[in-house]
Structure 1
Amino acid sequence: MQTSVIDIRPAQAADARAYLCFLKAVAKETPYVALPAELATLTPLFTEFLIASILESQQDVLLLAFDQQQIVGAIRVNSPTEQGLTHISEVSIAVLKAKWHRGIGSDLMAHLLASVREIGNPRRLELTVQARNHRAIALYKRFGFVTEAQLAAGFYAPETGYIPVVQMCQLMNMDEEI
């Protein structure tokens, strides 16, 4: 099922308050996304600073999916700054539960991969997904991610205990000189 008109664009500093509300909503409604404990204490001002730092980065990306004025999905590429690791980035994606199964995750992933190809960096995208999240794993495989490892007890959920996770990656832009 395809969604209604969804606008996907890079985050702007002015999106900070709405992005923070989105993250808090996702944290409450899904067992599949691990968000930092500090989320409860994040302020809109700090979130604005975070978005500004992403915008200044040469390879970090934060794309937001809007349904009207509401953020309904987000995808982020976060890159380390340590020498020798700057070609690697971690991908994280979330969609509000009410908007699941409407193509928003696919649209976000397609936009993200197009952005990464255009930037030419990073060269390696990584993500970790709970093994029980079969739909997410299928999405990532559809977009070219491959499984590198499955880790026993990779995530702990109070309601179910320890859960295995799957580590996946995709190499990109490898034919270009770094």
Structure 2
Amino acid sequence: MPATDSVITLERLNESHLEGITALYHEPAFARQTLQMPFPSMELWRKRIDPDNERKVQLVAVHQGTVIGNISMEQYARVRRGHAGSFGMGVAVAWQGKGVGSKLLAAALDIADNWLNLRRIELTVYVDNEAAIGLYRKFGFETEGVLRDYGLRDGKWVDVLSMARLRSMPD
């Protein structure tokens, strides 16, 4: 069991994290709560690293050299949607409920608010992922609707909540 008082650092995803992030998504319990396919290749993650895209933020949470979580947030490229973005994230099962998700999400939202000037952040989350839904609500996300039969998980169609956080803009 991980020690909650251990130092967890956030780093921009880079080549040195490829083995760790690939291993993270190889955890069946982890992958089933995401829209990712299980057992991704390291090459897939290598292709996803996009250091030159200023609209995309990819962070990993690291504990003693091991990747224990990640978040990827991207501002939409379309001009009329440039005020918005979306993200996906995950935390290793052994580290869930220990503040890792909060740390990742706080960092991504700080960049969204103070660097990208995003007004709207969107996400989808499986309706039965109560821990993630609680985390998102803690950060001001509200449910906007249910998307039925959104994804296939364990051979069954699963609904997701569509959630968003709208940032108030100064008058």
What TM-score does the superposition give when structure 2 sets the normalisation length?
Answer: 0.83
Gaps of 5+ in 1: none
Counterparts of 1:83-162 in structure 2, within 5 Å, are: 83-159=79-155, 161-162=156-157
Question: 1:84-126 CA deviation, whole Å, 9 max, x = no partner?
Answer: 1222211111111121121111111112112222204222100
Number of the residue aligned with 2:47? 46
Does the residue aligned with 2:60 lie in a helix, a strand or coil? strand
Is 1:81 aligned to residue 77 of structure 2? yes
Residue type of the partner of 2:164?
C
- Structure whose residues are more often helix by fraction: 1
SS in 1 for 2:70: strand
Check whether the contact 1:117–1:173 (CA below 8 A) recurs between aligned residues: no
1:85 partner amino acid? R
1:9 corresponds in structure 2 to: 11
Instruction: Verify: 1:32 aligned to 2:33, yes or no.
Output: yes
Counterpart contact for 1:121–1:173, Cα < 8 Å: no
When residues 4 and 109 of structure 1 are mapped into structure 2, their CA distance, relative to the original with a 3 A threshold, is same
Counterpart code for 2:66: Q
Q: Is the 8 A contact 1:88 1:124 kept in 2?
A: yes
Structure 1 moving runs of 4+ over 6 Å: none
Classify 1:22/1:87 alpha carbon distance in 2 versus 1 (closer, same or farther; 3 Å): farther
The CA RMSD measured in Å over matched residues stands at 2.6
Q: Is the CA contact (8 Å cut-off) linking 1:150 and 1:165 kept in structure 2?
A: yes
Structure 2, unmatched stretches of 5+, are none
Q: TM-score, normalised by structure 1?
A: 0.80
- Counterpart code for 1:77: M
1:169 positional shift: 0.4
Are 1:3 and 1:102, in contact at CA under 8 Å, matched by a contact in 2? no
Aligned-residue offset at 1:149: 0.6
SS in 1 for 2:79: coil
Q: CA deviation at 1:62?
A: 1.3
1:52 is aligned with what amino acid? P
CA distance in 1, matches of 2:20, 2:78: 27
Alpha-carbon distance in 2 for matches of 1:88, 1:4 = 34
